[in-house]
A and B are shown apart, each in its own frame.
Chain A
Amino acid sequence: MRSALDRDLARWERGELSLADLGLRHPGRAGGMIALYQRLTDIGVAAVPDPEPGWVRLRQRLPQRPDVVQVRTVGPAFVLRRLVARPLALAAALVLLGGAIGYAAAPKAVNHRLSSFWESVENMFQDEPRQGGPDRTPGSPRDDEHGLAPSVPDDEEGDDGDGEEGEDRGDGDDGDDREDGDDDHRDGPSEDSGEGSGDDVEPDD
């Protein structure tokens, strides 16, 4: 709550009340306030030195500032990079990591199957001379038909009734005999169980 003195002082400040009236209304109280008011007012209007020399001195002390900071425009490419590329890269890394861990942790049999699978895939795309033997030429009609290169020459094909692919590959590829043989050994029981098992069982019988 404002006192009557405060209200009258505000009226005096606005010019709505004379000093004499103020003194009459608040004898002995208003005088000290007005004196202080005028003392402060005098401080506020006191002369000050010319600012120019001060500015000249200050200007030499101002540190250089770079121009306005350029705000980078965010375009669709930036958004795409942020929203798609990074999550994709992260997902790919996770898949690769998971695959590597899974491969390392999987049983040997599974790893062998995977190896043979990748090998068969690799064989599909290998060069013709390696697959078809020295007397076959690349791009022969048979290659085009089956997509897989035969591993034995045409003249031997009829002799081998079972057409076992692993065995044929071993015959055709001189350099990889031992390796292919191993693969056949691994693949035989699982892939060609019908034919392979028959051969294996015969000696026992």
Chain B
Amino acid sequence: MLREPNPSTPPLERPNIFASIPDVRTETDEAEVRTLDLVQRLVERAREGREDAFGDLYRRYHAPLFRLARAHLGDGAEDAVAETFLRAWKGLPGYKDTGAPFLAWLYGIARHVIADEFRRRARVEPRADLPDGRVEWKVDDELTLAAAIRGLPDEQRQVIELKFLMGATNAEVAAALGKSEGAVNAKQWRALGALRKMLEEA
């Protein structure tokens, strides 16, 4: 059943990735700026080796990373999230704030973790022992969809993953990719058209 987007609220009712700290709300632009400042402070403290600050970052970004990992990997999403944050912790001293959201940096790490996991699975589970992939995919629509997403051109894939799987806003996706919101929106619909075609052919 198709649903109308609610015109009184933002078109998508997404999980607020900044909502894990109770004293910070993102209802206004001003509050959003404060939230970004808070994230920057947390990142700075985490760079200094403060585990408590890194824990706040973990709680804040666990959900979007978990959804991304679960969409692609199914089982093992929690391990992928842990590995992503472990690499983030090690890589934080070299992190440079380029103006892109911190989520985009984590997303870049998560993509590598997911790719590594696919490679590991390919080594550990020989293809002959796998069940029929097509049947498996029909059982699990989400993995079918994720496989189609991985078949998209890179920028379209990033738009879909950041916006839908990780809950980033158009502005955040635009900042992460260094593009305008209009360009991001156009890529989004082009990607959805390509996905629909792939799923119909599958």
By a beta-carbon cutoff of 8 Å, the part of chain A in contact with chain B is 2, 5-6, 9-10, 12-16, 18-19, 31-41, 43-46, 48-49, 51-52, 54-55, 57-59, 61-69
Tell whether, in the assembled complex, residue A45 and residue B13 are in contact, meaning their CB atoms are under 8 Å apart: yes
List residues of B (53-87) whose CB comes within 8 Å of A's CBs. 54-55, 58-59, 62-63, 66-67, 70-71, 78, 81-82, 85-86
User: In the complex, which residues of chain A have a beta carbon less than 8 angstroms from the beta carbon of B126?
Assistant: none
Tell whether, in the assembled complex, residue B78 and residue A44 are in contact, meaning their CB atoms are under 8 Å apart: no
User: In the complex, which residues of chain B have a beta carbon less than 8 angstroms from the beta carbon of A52?
Assistant: 59
* Partner among B2, B145, B164 whose Cβ is within 8 Å of the Cβ of A31: B2
Tell whether, in the assembled complex, residue B47 and residue A68 are in contact, meaning their CB atoms are under 8 Å apart: yes
By a beta-carbon cutoff of 8 Å, the part of chain B in contact with chain A is 2-8, 11-15, 47-49, 51, 54-55, 58-59, 62-63, 66-67, 70-71, 78, 81-82, 85-86, 89-90, 93, 141-142, 145, 160, 163-167, 185-186, 189-190, 192-193, 195-196, 199-200
Tell whether, in the assembled complex, residue A43 and residue B62 are in contact, meaning their CB atoms are under 8 Å apart: no
- Known contacts A15-B6, A31-B2, A61-B86: A45-B145 contact under CB 8 Å: no
Distance from B85 Cβ to chain A, minimum over Cβ atoms (Å): 6
| Alpha-carbon distance A188/B66, docked complex (angstroms) | 100
User: In the complex, which residues of chain B have a beta carbon less than 8 angstroms from the beta carbon of A43?
Assistant: 67, 71, 142, 145, 164-165
User: In the complex, which residues of chain A have a beta carbon less than 8 angstroms from the beta carbon of B7?
Assistant: 15-16
User: In the complex, which residues of chain A have a beta carbon less than 8 angstroms from the beta carbon of B93?
Assistant: 65, 69
* Partner among B51, B82, B192 whose Cβ is within 8 Å of the Cβ of A54: B82
* Extra A-B contacts (12), CB below 8 Å, given A48-B67, A59-B51: A13-B12, A32-B196, A33-B196, A34-B2, A39-B145, A40-B164, A45-B167, A48-B70, A58-B82, A63-B89, A67-B48, A68-B47
